[in-house]
Amino acid sequence: MRIPRVAALSAAVATLLLSPVSPAAHATTHHGARSQAAVPAAGNGTPSATDLLAATQNCHQVSHGTFKASLGGAPIPVCSSNGAYYWHSSMSVDCDGQATDKCNSHTDPDYRSTTAVPQSNGAPLNAATTPYVVLPDRHSPIWSYFNEAGIRPGDVIAVIYGGHVEYAIFGDVGDSDHIGEASYATAAALGINPDPHKGGVPGGVTYIAFPHTRPNIVEDHGQAVTNGAAAATAFLHH
């Protein structure tokens, strides 16, 4: 299930692709394991989901108002602490990108063959194998994360659900007033039904975005885990 994309999305994608990104420094934490041939498993090492959730219980709101949750529910503010940005929301499933047996126009009636952030070879991301998160249009009046937070395409976002942490990248954009959407691979890794039409979860998902953490090879999930775990550790011990 996904949020319908606005007509201005193509312009937002073009702006994203033309904007400079900051490559992340190499970190030294362990990579997450893989549960299947294609879908990365959620990392469950240090920092723990419990520690990260405890650090996001208080909210210093930085958004100018609130977003609508992707699958409905209470309004969603974006909060900030120790250089990270976080929100608590639902998760709808995005299947945009490369066509696969999991993600295509037959499995997803709202399927698009492009993503705002491409792979290192210029191809769209593969939603079935690459954990990524969808952020609102960068020009959203609610939260302009480019200007106000320094978040760029490919930066790492920790996604927490059911006691597990998955490190995903910022890989696609959606409507300017909704938040809480992630790729098929992100949902599957966290044990959420990844069906793009009927899957997702109505609440209980926490997202923590870390600026300046983009992997050098954006689709390299191992490096995303390494960069994300290092940033999460710094967030907790700032």
**What are the tens digits of pLDDT across the range 103-138?**
999 999 999 999 999 999 999 999 999 999 999 999
Residue 26 has pLDDT above 80, yes or no: no
2 located within any domain? no
Assign 156 a pLDDT band (cuts: 50, 70, 90).
very high
Q: What is the pLDDT of residue 42?
A: 60
Q: Summarize the confidence of residues 63-87 as an average pLDDT.
A: 95
Residue range 200-218: mean pLDDT, rounded: 97
User: Cα–Cα distance between 229 and 208 in angstroms, integer?
Assistant: 11
Q: Both tokens of residue 169?
A: 């990248």
Q: How would residue 98 be classed by pLDDT, with cut points 50, 70 and 90? A: very high
- 137 Ramachandran zone, left/alpha/beta (phi>0; psi -120 to 50): beta
Percent with pLDDT over 70 in the chain: 81
- Confidence band, pLDDT 50/70/90 cuts, at residue 73: confident
CATH number of the domain that 52 lies in? 2.40.40.10
Instruction: Assess if residue 17 is contained within a domain.
Output: no
Dig out the tokens for 62 from the structure.
């930085």
* Cα-based distances in Å from 30 to 136, 168, 224: 30, 15, 11
The CA distance from 13 to 17, in Å, is 6
| CA atoms within 13 Å, Cβ hemisphere of 11 | 6
Distances (CA, A) of 207 to 107, 121, 164: 26, 27, 12
Instruction: Identify whether 21 is part of a domain.
Output: no
Q: In the predicted model, is pLDDT for residue 46 greater than 90?
A: no
Dump the DSSP string for 134-159.
EEE-TT-SS--HHHHH---TT-EEEE
**Three-state SS at 223:** helix
Domain span at 220: 34-236
Kindly report whether the global pTM for this prediction surpasses the value 0.75: yes
pLDDT classification of 150: cutoffs 50, 70, 90: very high
In a domain, 121, yes or no: yes
Q: How does DSSP assign 25-82, residue by residue?
A: PP--SPPPPBSSSSSBPPB-SSSPHHHHHHTTSS--B-SSS-BEETTS-S-B--EEET
Q: Is 230 helix (H, G, I), strand (E, B) or coil?
A: helix
Q: Is residue 66 part of a domain?
A: yes
Helix (H) or strand (E) holding 178: strand 178-179
pLDDT of 36 above 60: no
The answer to whether residue 4 sits within a structural domain is: no
| Residue 159 forms part of a structural domain | yes
Residue 5 has pLDDT above 90, yes or no: no
**Residue 32, φ and ψ in degrees, nearest 5:** -75, 155
Determine the 3-state secondary structure of 234 from DSSP. Answer: helix
Total tally of structural domains belonging to the chain: 1
Cα-based distances in Å from 157 to 8, 99, 227: 24, 24, 10
Q: For residue 12, tell me if it sits in a domain.
A: no
- Place 41 in a pLDDT band, splitting at 50, 70 and 90: low
Mean per-residue pLDDT for 186-206? 97
Cis-peptide, bond into residue 47, ω within 30° of zero:
yes
